[in-house]
With several copies, the nearest count.
Chain A
Amino acid sequence: MKKLINKPDAVVTEALHGIAAAHADLVNVHFNPNIIVRADAPVQGKVGLVSGGGSGHEPMHGGFVGPGMLDAACPGEVFTSPTPDQMLDATKAVNGGAGVLHIVKNYTGDVMNFEMAADLGQSEGIEVEAVVIDDDVAVQDSLYTAGRRGVGTTVLAEKICGAAAEERQSLSEVAELCRKVNANGRSMGMALTSCIVPAAGKPTFDLGEDEIEIGIGIHGEPGRERVKLAPAAEIVERLTRPILEDLPFEKGDQVLAFVNGMGGTPLLELYVVYNDLNRLLGEHGITITRNLIGPYITSLEMAGCSITLLKLDDELTRLWDAPVKTAGLRWAA
């Protein structure tokens, strides 16, 4: 294992110290339990947005704390859901009297820990709602599974709901909006190489020199199928077709196209992917009106990408365009 770290089990703590030192203008980092909180939290009268999950997906979620996006993030150990005490502390820290929304990625661990935290928060008199993001079409959605994983749409939901909260929309409105984003977003990812969890010290999975994994999860969970390496255009097709069919996306739709790097893939290649995606959607009569290209929801050093499409309307577009000021996403009006 080759990594720029000191001790495998100190990675998260040391990175949090780095974040604290680097972004003191945007966030405060609390330790034990670990949370990253917007510097001016709690913002009175604003719904507080809390998300969190295992570390190793940076900039998500800690890099999305700041005006226009999250109020707090709870970083777990690498690829491991954070614990209820973190979420409870975050909830208390960002409660400005308008309630707190938990944006939860659909993994059993995340869901259960956030449930425990919500119970604890409620019992301390804070109004808490939770929305679970489950946008990964690689996974069968069925009563007989834990349902779909939460992936790329999470980033978009955090941005869009952050803007709505900034507009002082109510907790139920922001939660409803979050469900709407989730309902209109679909994703699928693929890996060229495995990631290496520092504490494990070796690749989570093995892929042959000419194999790729289609439908990979952001923790290196195996995907739909393992196939031979193929040209980017073919891979884009394999990822996009299930996404289009699932919602379904239709001719005339306007979408936000999010081409996400898994961590180890050069930006140059993501633009090649974007080019193929743009052409493919054009063939289907779907127009990309907004885009996001880069490593935003990563899986450590995994090489690969994911594609997320979000069907836009005027409301979602307006909220996407609204100003945001975080370490990971930043723009003005």
Chain B
Amino acid sequence: MAGVAAIESAPEHRMSVAYDDVLRWIRKFAAEVEANKESLTQLDAAIGDGDHGINMQRGMSAVVAKLDAQAGDQDVGALLKTVGMTLVSTVGGAGGPLYGTLFLQMGTAASGKGELSPDDWAGALEAGIAGVENRGKAEPGDKTMIDALVPGRDALKAALGGGATFADALRQSAAAAEQGMRDTVPLVARKGRASYLGERSAGHQDPGATSSHLLLEAAAETWGESE
């Protein structure tokens, strides 16, 4: 599923991601969602309604179909918006508006760009997360996807600010998202369907945080691979 035979640019230190790299990241994320469909659904069954993996898989396979069908115009912003729109109209549930908004806002931030510098990436991610926060009103600690995204974003910015290579920064971002995801386990949910459970939601990992970790990990794996 890694898809499109993109010619690997393979610099010692990658300084940006091109349109095709973004495409590869989306496809990688789609593949990860596919591979983790079952486990995401199981996580959701424990504290939600058992459909997060199914929903995300339906959405991301629609995204891939869409991307397969339409020739891109090399505009990363437009690409991300297409992803967002497709998710909004195919996922439904909480995941649809949230992931849809994430990509739509990232797209707006990256509007007109043919490639993203590390700072562009950080900016887009920041905008996307702000969109999610605005739409869902969740704060860190509410046991949602925010709990993976925010640490991921913060680690990325800190690493880049500290002079790390992009690949390193991506890896630290993914690692922080993973930690954030794991840290949702003891939390009591305060947003989304899991919040209905009250104390009974503690002891389970949040499915949305899990898929969000997959998203940032896909970026690290796709863009950090060639160092």
Contacts and interface: CB of A to CB of B under 8 A. Distances in A.
Please tell me whether chains A and B touch each other in their complex, using a CB distance cut-off of 8 A.
yes
Interface of A: 9, 33, 54, 76-85, 107-109, 112-113, 115-116, 138-140, 144-146, 149, 197, 199-200, 204-205, 217, 219-222
A112 B45 CA distance: 21
Given A109-B96, A116-B97, A144 B54 contact: no
Most A Cβ at <10 Å: residue of B94, B98, B135: B94
Contacts of A82: 92
B45 A200 contact: yes
A81 B94 CA distance: 8
Interface in B54-103: 54-55, 58, 88-98
Contact of B49 (A9, A116, A144, A221): A221
A113 B191 CA distance: 16
A144 B192 CA distance: 11
B192 A108 contact: yes
Contacts of B58: 9, 77
Contacts of B192: 108, 146
Majority SS of interface residues in chain B?
Answer: helix
Contacts of A146: 190-193, 195-196
Nearest to B95: A109
B194 to A, nearest CB: 9
Given A112-B97, A112-B98, A200-B54, A83 B196 contact: no
B217 interface: no
B97 A109 contact: yes
A199 B51 contact: yes
A221 B51 contact: no
A76 B49 contact: no
A112 B92 contact: no
B94 A197 contact: no
Given A81-B93, A83-B96, A112-B97, A204 B49 contact: yes
Contact of B51 (A113, A140, A144, A200): A200
Nearest to A116: B97
Contacts of A80: 51, 54-55, 91-93
| Number of chain B interface residues as a range | 20 to 34
27 contacts: A76-B92, A76-B93, A77-B51, A77-B55, A78-B51, A79-B51, A82-B92, A107-B94, A108-B94, A108-B191, A109-B94, A112-B94, A112-B136, A113-B96, A113-B97, A115-B97, A144-B190, A145-B190, A197-B50, A200-B41, A200-B50, A217-B49, A219-B49, A220-B49, A221-B197, A222-B197, A222-B200
B198 interface: yes
Contacts of A139: 196
With most chain A CB atoms within 10 A of its CB, the pick from B136, B190, B196 is B196
Contacts of B197: 221-222
B48 interface: yes
B133 to A, nearest CB: 13
A205 B195 CA distance: 17
Contacts of B190: 144-146
A188 to B, nearest CB: 13
Nearest to A53: B92
A221 B196 contact: yes
A178 to B, nearest CB: 22
A145 B196 contact: yes
Most buried by B among A81, A112, A139: A112
A115 B55 CA distance: 19
